[in-house]
C-alpha cells in the first residue's frame, strides 16, 4: 500500500505450499541464502519479482547446475511484472485510479482492534467482459499455487465462470483506495432441461485477512446471489476441504435456522422431506447439506444431559453414518463366502462389526465436536 511496505517484514506472508512449483520435496537446488521475493500492489496486484542469494553452485563443480528458479516462477506469474523497485513504486503512485471490477453485491464492516475502528469491505461479482479484469485475474490466481494444495488455473474463456472478489475499502491522504482480500470462482453447470447448478471451484482469503470472518461473508453473499435466481437448482462445491465444509456448515445453518421447517418442535420429530423441499426451494441447498444443517440444529434443540433425548439424537445421526459400513459389510460377506469356510466368516464378520462400532462412535463424537463449534460461532455472530 505504501513504498515503505517494501522494507516492512510485518506485511510479508509465506506460502503454505510450494510443491507445484518446486516438486514434492519443495527444494530449490544450488543456492545459499536464496530468497524469492514477490511483492503485489494491494489493489490491482501489479507485481515485483526479485531473486536474491549469497552464492550459487558453479557448473564446473561436479558437473551440476543450480535450478532455474526464475523460469519456475515465470511459469506462474503473468508477463509484465516489474524487476526494478523504482518501476514498481511508480505503479504504486497510480493505485488511486484502481477501482473494483463488476457489480457491488454486499458491503460490511469488521472492527479492527489494532486500528481501533471499523474497516469497510465490499464484495463484487465480475466476469471477463469487465475492462482490465482478465489481466487482474491472471495476477490474482497466482496466489492459488501457494495456498491451495491441488490448485490449477481455470479456462477463463469459458463463459460459465463467475468471479466474486472481496476488497477492503480504505483512505489514504484523503483519497479512497481498495485492497484485494480474497475471491471465489464458481462454475455454472447445466442441468436438464432449464436449470443450472453453480459449483464453487476455488476460494481463497489471503493470509493477512484470515480469521476475520471474510470467508463466511463471501460464501453467504454468493449463496444469496444465486438464491435470487429461479433457474438455479442448488449450489455445490468441487472437492471441498475440511475448512470449507466447516465454513459451509456455519453459513447454511445461519441461513436455515429461521425457516419454519427447522423449528425446535419439527427438529425433534426427525429429518423430513419438508426440510429438503424448503431448503432447496428457498435457499438452493441440496439434500445432503440440508441433512447436516438438520443435525446441527437438532443438536442445539437437544438437551444432551437428558438420557432419552441424547440417545434419540445419537441413534438418529448414527443411522446415517452406518450406511457406508453396512454396504462394506455386505461386500465383505460376499467375498468371504467365496474364499473361506462359513464358521470363519462369522467370526471375522464379528471382529469387523466390533471395529466398525468403534469407528462409528469415533465418527459420531468427531461430528458432534464439529457441530458444537458451528453452534458456538453462530451464538457469537
Which are the catalytic amino acids? 238
Q: Report the SS3 class of residue 188.
A: strand
Alpha helix stretches (DSSP H) within 284-306? 287-301
- What are 297's three cell numbers? 440444529
Q: How far apart are CA 381 and CA 377, in angstroms?
A: 6
Q: Pick the closest to residue 371 from 308, 321, 306, 307 (CA basis).
A: 321
Distance from C-alpha of 195 to C-alpha of 229, rounded to nearest angstrom: 10
Cell 515503505 sits at which residue?
4
264: part of which helix (H) or strand (E)? helix 264-267
Strand ranges, E, within the chain? 31-32, 35-40, 47-52, 55-56, 103-112, 117-126, 161-172, 175-191, 195-205, 236-237
Amino acid at each position: 500500500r505504501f513504498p515503505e511496505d517494501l522494507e516492512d517484514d510485518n506485511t510479508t506472508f509465506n506460502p503454505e505450499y510450494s510443491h507445484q512449483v518446486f516438486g514434492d520435496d519443495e527444494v530449490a537446488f544450488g543456492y545459499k541464502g536464496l530468497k524469492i521475493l514477490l511483492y503485489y500492489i494491494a489493489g490491482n496486484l501489479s507485481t515485483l519479482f526479485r531473486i536474491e542469494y549469497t552464492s550459487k553452485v558453479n557448473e564446473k563443480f561436479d558437473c551440476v547446475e543450480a535450478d532455474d528458479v526464475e523460469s519456475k516462477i515465470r511459469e506462474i506469474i503473468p508477463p509484465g511484472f516489474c524487476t526494478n523497485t523504482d518501476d514498481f513504486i511508480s505503479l504504486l503512485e497510480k493505485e488511486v485510479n484502481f477501482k473494483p471490477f463488476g457489480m457491488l453485491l454486499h458491503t460490511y464492516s469488521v472492527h479492527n482492534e489494532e486500528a481501533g475502528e471499523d474497516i469497510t469491505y465490499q464484495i463484487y461479482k465480475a466476469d471477463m467482459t469487465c475492462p482490465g479484469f482478465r489481466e487482474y485475474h491472471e495476477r490474482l490466481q497466482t496466489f492459488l499455487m501457494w495456498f491451495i494444495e491441488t490448485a490449477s488455473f481455470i479456462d477463463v474463456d469459458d463463459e460459465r465462470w463467475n468471479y466474486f472478489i472481496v476488497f477492503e475499502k480504505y483512505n489514504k491522504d484523503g483519497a479512497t483506495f481498495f485492497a484485494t482480500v480474497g475471491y471465489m470462482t464458481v462454475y455454472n453447470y447445466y442441468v436438464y432441461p432449464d436449470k443450472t447448478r453453480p459449483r464453487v471451484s476455488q476460494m481463497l482469503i489471503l493470509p493477512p485477512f484470515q480469521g476475520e470472518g471474510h470467508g463466511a461473508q463471501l460464501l453467504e453473499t454468493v449463496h444469496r446471489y444465486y438464491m435470487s435466481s429461479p433457474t438455479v437448482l442448488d449450489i455445490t462445491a468441487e472437492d471441498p476441504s475440511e475448512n470449507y465444509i466447516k465454513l459451509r456448515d456455519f453459513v447454511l445453518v445461519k441461513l436455515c435456522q429461521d425457516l419454519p421447517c427447522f423449528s425446535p418442535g419439527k427438529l425433534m420429530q426427525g429429518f423430513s422431506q419438508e426440510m429438503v423441499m424448503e431448503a432447496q426451494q428457498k435457499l438452493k441447498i441440496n439434500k445432503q447439506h440440508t441433512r447436516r444443517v438438520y443435525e446441527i440444529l437438532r443438536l442445539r434443540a437437544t438437551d444432551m444431559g437428558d438420557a432419552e433425548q441424547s440417545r434419540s439424537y445419537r441413534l438418529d445421526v448414527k443411522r446415517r453414518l452406518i450406511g457406508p459400513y453396512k454396504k462394506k459389510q455386505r461386500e465383505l460377506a460376499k467375498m468371504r463366502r467365496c474364499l473361506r469356510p462359513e464358521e470363519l466368516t462369522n467370526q471375522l464378520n464379528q471382529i469387523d462389526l466390533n471395529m466398525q462400532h468403534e469407528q462409528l462412535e469415533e465418527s459420531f463424537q468427531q461430528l458432534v465436536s464439529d457441530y458444537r463449534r458451528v453452534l458456538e460461532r453462530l451464538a457469537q455472530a
